[in-house]
Structure 1
Amino acid sequence: MRSKPSVRSPARYYALKALHRIETQAAYADYVLQALRREIALSPRDQDLLTTLVDGVTIWRKTLDWVLARYVRGGLERLDPWVRNALRMGLYQLMFLDRIPRWAAVHETVEVARMAAGEGAAALVNAVLRRISARLERGQPVASFPSIREDPVAHLAIRYSFPEWMVRRWIARYGVEGTRELCRFQNTPRPLSLRVNRLRATREEILADLEARGLRARPSVYHPYVILVEGGLDLTAWPAYQEGKVIAQDEAAAMVPYLLDLRPGLRVLDLCAAPGGKTTAIVEWMGDRGIVVAADAHFGRLHRLREHAWRMGFTTIHVVQADGRRPFLPEWADRILIDAPCLGTGVLARRSDARWHKQESDLASLARIQRELLEAAARMLRPSGYLVYSTCSLEPEENEEQIYAFLRDHPEFRLVSAQGKVPTPFIDAEGFYRVLPHVHHMDGAFGAILEKAGTPVG
């Protein structure tokens, strides 16, 4: 950039800086925003606008580019990345942020483009955004989309900004209208979801704390220790978080440990444990009595798990760096959780750029890893023990197809219904735990309970 930010619009200045880095360095939006928060001090209002712009432009990039291509001669690809992202940022404000006057969206974006790329860039951004703003003022559509009747995949992919391969797969399972609802949900900002550490606090205590801070908070309908919070909350600066009374975790993920049928004194192995949301939930359910081995192949992610365990005061978590695909505790565990790496197509609402980092071709390699984890877990589970396999994916290859293939090769295992372990709305006809975002209005999740035959020794 050619200049320091104008005092008039620091949020837009840093948003454009973040968007440029995300595009040119293939950086993750969350990491870029975290780095900016450490580097700069913004007012709460500007901090909110910065996050809104970066996440919003990232989510709606396909739609924004479709519209802009109708106004930029020669196409967006020929433009400097600073200019391209300034146009996206300005159009996002015009199309999606009603709280910002159109004149302000145009003017402030033009000024930021001038600082980033000079007078020529500012002139181009000004001309394009003013043409679009004028159409909106007259109540005219800014662009037409492909016909949903003639090409429903292209229509939904462009209208809701998703990769076509995702939309195609979802239409095959949920139909056009179901996919439309799924896309809408995945584009809707989600409230912050907190799980209360019931060994240190009650849900009522945390709700009262949040309400005293002027935040809108409500208890989950389905999970007795989850709270949903609207509005801005600086989680790490909150005393309740620092004292280990809460951890951020979606309610769908927080229900997975229910499937393990936990009780104090068990030996539990969490094979893909970091960053620790499910591990800490397991310990809570066991009353911090027993042994929980939390394993993960990634050393850096284990640091977060150790921090959570220390902060929340747990003493029975034993953290180890290990590749869960290679058995290291033969027939040791009473319970094993595999929270398997997956495409994550059920949690796109919480990860603004995840849809652009996924490829359909990734399914094959992920499925191999998932199967290797299941094979290793089968050797580490004691007879009569439970193995729970879970993902945050909506894709059959990563969920039920994986389980049925494993059961065909392992007659010593049987599928156990989730009935009685999680609320009935989340149990499908086969007995799997299944959360569909567009149906249940929660993050997507899948879980299967497998019991190993035999009588435990010792």
Structure 2
Amino acid sequence: MRLGGRLAGAIEVLADIEARRRPVADALKDWGLSHRFAGSGDRSAIGNVVYDALRMKLSHAWLMDDDRPEALAFAVLLRQWGMTPEALATELEGDRFAPALPDAALAALASRSLDTAPAHVQGDIPAWIQPAFEAAFGEDWVREAQALAGRTALDLRANRLKAPREKVIAALEETGARPAAIAHDGIRIAPGEGASRLPNVMAELTFAKGWFEVQDEGSQIVSELIDPQDGHQILDYCAGGGGKTLALSAIMRNKGQIHAFDADRKRLAPIIERLKRAGTRNVQVHDRAQQLKSLEGACDIVLVDAPCTGTGTWRRRPDTKWRLTERSLDERLAQQRDALTNAARHVRPGGTLVYITCSILPAENADQTRAFVEANPDFTLQPALPVYQRLFAGAPEPWSGESGGLTLTPATTGTDGFFFSLMTRKPA
């Protein structure tokens, strides 16, 4: 397919997402199934246009004075892919599948400056959530929001149970893999530009051998901040697919004991195969809360990787940015409170409760931990920054608030957005 056909395909997908309010991955999959003639390169390019358009949807629409899918798709090529209107017109000339250039939108783009747009448009976030960004980041909130609208790298975690990071990087040399900036086992493959696509690392033999896992560097960093010791007994209360469970097991060198639990069995199911591939031997998997009865008051560390809005992952899932509502935020807040309350009973006296989200909203983060310790006076908030500074000396530092928690962001640590907080239970 030429550029015109790819552009037309992206417009079709964007229109489907807008009309049916559906996840971008589903819309792209359905488009591919109904257009089997499109090659893998075509599908990848179309996906890049769609994702880029959604990442900067508000600013594209404002500058083009047009929020239709056609305007958004053309804005991607002009603003993010570095094409000029003249070069674009030449590229599309004679392509019978190419959509018409939107002359009025192009004129608006030439005459407008984003500096005069409303602040939430500059940051490409919904207007109703601007106060939360201001509360989280003060005067830097627009810069932080804009960083959440960029493309993201492909991050891997070398599995030290199978292979050191240097060996994994050597095996993935053709992908451009490099050591991550902060996480000790992290590996980064830089995001491509324009229509380029990231490598399918899961097709690598080394992946099948368990040498590495796909995991954002931010997720790796917060796993290391838990600072587990070889003999610890740990409960990963919201284990999901097991990313942090696997990271903790590797840090502990297969010693001690990790209990992985999630109330959602469907989310938990992939962990079994992942544990086998990784060579993990110190993990027990639980899919029923009653199976945790014997762990009450017995765990050195209890990790609550709480369900959240996922605002820290907007670079990877930009469609969720525009589907987020105050109602869905309230639902997540209630789930977080329940998870903290239920998980806390498994912390031994003198033990640690760890609270993590992939959100950057204060309501889901510092507000939750403050409310929890106020309601549970046997728990005390602890500063997490000293732990970060000890483990990652000299690395770029995340945001640190009065509650003692840390917030990682694309703008500060070059990772997805994550919140990390430590709470200790008073000794008996």
TM beyond 0.5: yes
Counterpart code for 1:448:
S
Counterpart code for 1:96:
Q
Q: 1:52 to 1:336 in 2, by over 3 A?
A: same
Q: Deviations over 1:405-439 (max 9, x none)?
A: 21122222222333235436247364323324323
CA distance in 2, matches of 1:428, 1:158: 26
User: What aligned pairs does 1:388-427 form with structure 2 within 5 A after superposition?
Assistant: 388-418=354-384, 419-420=386-387, 422-423=391-392, 425-426=397-398
Q: 1:173 to 1:109 in 2, by over 3 A?
A: farther
**Is contact 1:342-1:391 (8 Å) kept?**
yes
Q: Deviations over 1:351-400 (max 9, x none)?
A: 22121121234333322221211111121222222211111222222112
Residue 134 of structure 2 corresponds to residue 171 of structure 1: yes
Aligned to 1:60: 56
CA distance in 1, matches of 2:115, 2:96: 30
Aligned to 1:90: 74
Aligned to 1:219: 179
What's the CA shift for 1:131? 4.3
Aligned to 2:270: 304
Question: Any gaps of 5 or more consecutive residues in structure 1?
Answer: 1-5, 71-75, 77-83, 114-125, 149-154
Q: 1:371 to 1:109 in 2, by over 3 A?
A: farther
User: What aligned pairs does 1:195-344 form with structure 2 within 5 A after superposition?
Assistant: 195-211=157-173, 213=174, 215-230=175-190, 231=192, 232-322=198-288, 329-344=295-310
Q: Which runs of 4+ in 1 moved over 6 A?
A: none
Larger gyration radius, structure 1 or structure 2: 1
What's the CA shift for 1:112? 5.4
**Is contact 1:89-1:109 (8 Å) kept?**
no
User: Scaled by the length of structure 1, what TM-score is found?
Assistant: 0.79
**Is contact 1:12-1:109 (8 Å) kept?**
no
Aligned to 2:422: 449
Between 1 and 2, higher relative CO (CA 8 Å, sep ≥ 6) is seen in 2
Aligned to 1:428: 400
**Is contact 1:264-1:290 (8 Å) kept?**
yes
Q: Secondary structure at the match of 2:371?
A: helix
Aligned to 2:195: none
CA distance in 1, matches of 2:371, 2:3: 59
User: What aligned pairs does 1:12-91 form with structure 2 within 5 A after superposition?
Assistant: 12-33=7-28, 40=36, 43=39, 45-69=41-65, 84-91=68-75
CA distance in 2, matches of 1:315, 1:107: 60
CA distance in 2, matches of 1:234, 1:38: 20
Worse-superposed segment, 220-229 or 162-171: 162-171
Question: Any gaps of 5 or more consecutive residues in structure 2?
Answer: 193-197
CA distance in 2, matches of 1:38, 1:311: 31
Counterpart code for 1:354:
T
What's the CA shift for 1:172? 4.3
Worse-superposed segment, 375-384 or 303-312: 303-312
CA distance in 2, matches of 1:321, 1:13: 45
The structure 2 residue matched to 1:376, chosen from 332, 342, 349, is 342
Aligned to 1:81: none
User: Scaled by the length of structure 2, what TM-score is found?
Assistant: 0.84
CA distance in 2, matches of 1:35, 1:276: 28
CA distance in 1, matches of 2:258, 2:170: 32
